[in-house]
Amino acid sequence: MAALAMDIVIEGLTKVFVNRADPSRSVTAVNNVSLSIAPGQLVTLLGPSGCGKTTILRIIAGFETPTSGKVLLGGRDITHTPPNKRDTALVFQNYALFPHLTVWENVTFGLKLRKDISPEEQKARAERVLSQVGLSDMAQRSPDQLSGGQQQRVALARAIVNEPRVLLFDEPLSNLDAKLREQMRLEIRALQQRHGITSVYVTHDQSEAMAISDRIVILKDGRIEQAGTPEEVYTRPATHFVADFIGRANFVSARVAGVSKGGYDLEVNGRTVFVPGSGQDSFGPGDFVDILLRPENTYVLPRSGAVGQPVPGAGAQGELTPVVDGRLVRRSFLGAVVEYEIEVPGHPRLLAEMSNPFAWGLLEPGSEVTVYFSPRVAHLLRRP
Ligand SMILES: Nc1ncnc2c1ncn2[C@@H]1O[C@H](COP(=O)(O)OP(=O)(O)OP(=O)(O)O)[C@@H](O)[C@H]1O
Ligand SMILES: [Mg+2]
């Protein structure tokens, strides 16, 4: 297969949709976004509705012209290159298949326009790609004889068969049910990796983003909040917004009492707890911070004589440290995990998700509890 991969570089991209009748209503959909994507990588644009994801994708595809900034493909400035000259393929959520053509005709539609590929090679490619998406037996069906997942596979095959340098996905799975979505996202990832096609994937589903991405770019109001690997943005979010958007988050308010040994002594509701620093943070005594506790790093144990004592547990996570006392207000038993909601004086409620619940012992709502965590896995954010 030809070398398909290629860098995408976006520099200072801004898009203002000007409202001519009332310029005060103009919308800055994309605001000074810079981003580069290594060959063969899949980068996801993640963010709430209206944050500019589709606009960035449409600018890369050439369906929208930026107000300022550039798009480079393999070092070539393509900002003003027409879409059909860019070697990009776009996969939408509503598939956009031709209803009156068969699967085979849909998949080979673009190929037939290519003078540089012989009819034999076209046929071989289409057969290969249809087999890769598991549709070899359905080549003669029309789209209305296919399930949603099968239609999505046709759309995928049609994009890949042209061997584009760049694949662009705009929420391709949002019309599918939850189970099929999870299956299809793995198939998309496997195909993308097998072909080594540089890809930009738009979604507002954080678990989808985590599952398929080399890197995730979190957007808010047209700006990049943070870009990093799924692990980085989950464990070391740069802002409260990212922490909240990329998963469920508890924020425990604390005050820095002292700085020592590569970490911080924090005062929390009368207790002092030590949390290691990330190496990138620089808090000083007196600073107000929030300890980010993911629900899976939030443990609830009965309040007892052992209050204040660390307890061994959580396996590889090491010692658990008590952080706050509270009252259990909700218990939802979900089988593999139990979810607890804890009321803590002067704090928003905390959410704990404990796996292997029977090993820990189920706690009764209304009981007085102590919340523990593993400081090694906690993360500190400056209080906004
Ligand atoms: N053609 C347009 N004219 C005017 N405003 C537009 C246009 N297209 C998009 N916008 C505005 O630009 C902003 C970004 O839109 P965009 O479609 O990029 O968001 P998105 O992140 O893809 O959202 P969603 O998750 O809902 O698809 C929104 O406020 C939207 O209303
Ligand atoms: Mg969109």
pLDDT in tens, 174-217: 877 888 888 889 988 998 998 899 999 999 899 999 999 999 99
Ligand 1 atom nearest 57 alpha carbon: 18
Task: Please indicate whether residue 54, judged by its CB atom, sits closer than 6 Å to ligand 1.
Answer: yes
| Half-sphere exposure (Cβ direction) of 133: Cα atoms closer than 13 Å | 30
CA nearest ligand 1 atom 13, residue: 29
Is the separation of the CB atoms in 44 and 215 below 8 Å?
yes
Task: Please indicate whether residue 352, judged by its CB atom, sits closer than 6 Å to ligand 1.
Answer: no
Sequence spans of domains, the chain: 8-244, 248-382
The two domains 8-244 and 248-382 share their CATH topology (first three levels equal): no
Q: Model's pTM, two decimal places?
A: 0.89
Ligand 1 atom nearest 30 alpha carbon: 14
With a cut of 80, say whether residue 127 has pLDDT above it: yes
pLDDT of residue 213: 98
User: Is the pLDDT higher at 104 or at 191?
Assistant: 104
Task: Please indicate whether residue 29, judged by its CB atom, sits closer than 6 Å to ligand 1.
Answer: yes
DSSP letters spanning 96-142: ---TTS-HHHHHHHHHHT-TTS-HHHHHHHHHHHHHHTT-GGGTTS-
Q: Which residues surround ligand 2, an ion (CB under 5 A)?
A: 54
Q: Which ligand is nearest to the CA of 30?
A: 1
CA nearest ligand 1 atom 10, residue: 29
Query: Going edge to edge, which strands form the sheet with 271-276?
Result: 271-276, 263-268, 250-260, 288-293, 379-382
Closest CA to 255 of 327, 346, 343: 346
What is the pLDDT averaged over residues 46-64? Answer: 96
Across 41-91, the runs of DSSP E, i.e. the strands, are 42-46, 68-73, 76-77, 88-91
What is the pLDDT averaged over residues 281-285? Answer: 90
Kindly give the distance from the C-alpha atom of residue 318 to the centroid of ligand 2, in angstroms, as a whole number: 42
| Whole-angstrom distance, CA of residue 252 vs CA of residue 298 | 11
User: Which CATH architecture best describes the domain 248-382?
Assistant: Beta Barrel (2.40)
What φ, ψ does residue 365 adopt, rounded to 5°?
-55, 145
Task: Please indicate whether residue 30, judged by its CB atom, sits closer than 6 Å to ligand 1.
Answer: no
CA nearest ligand 1 atom 5, residue: 17
CATH node for 8-244? 3.40.50.300
pLDDT tens string 10-29: 999 999 999 999 989 999 99
Task: Please indicate whether residue 58, judged by its CB atom, sits closer than 6 Å to ligand 1.
Answer: no
pLDDT of residue 156: 87
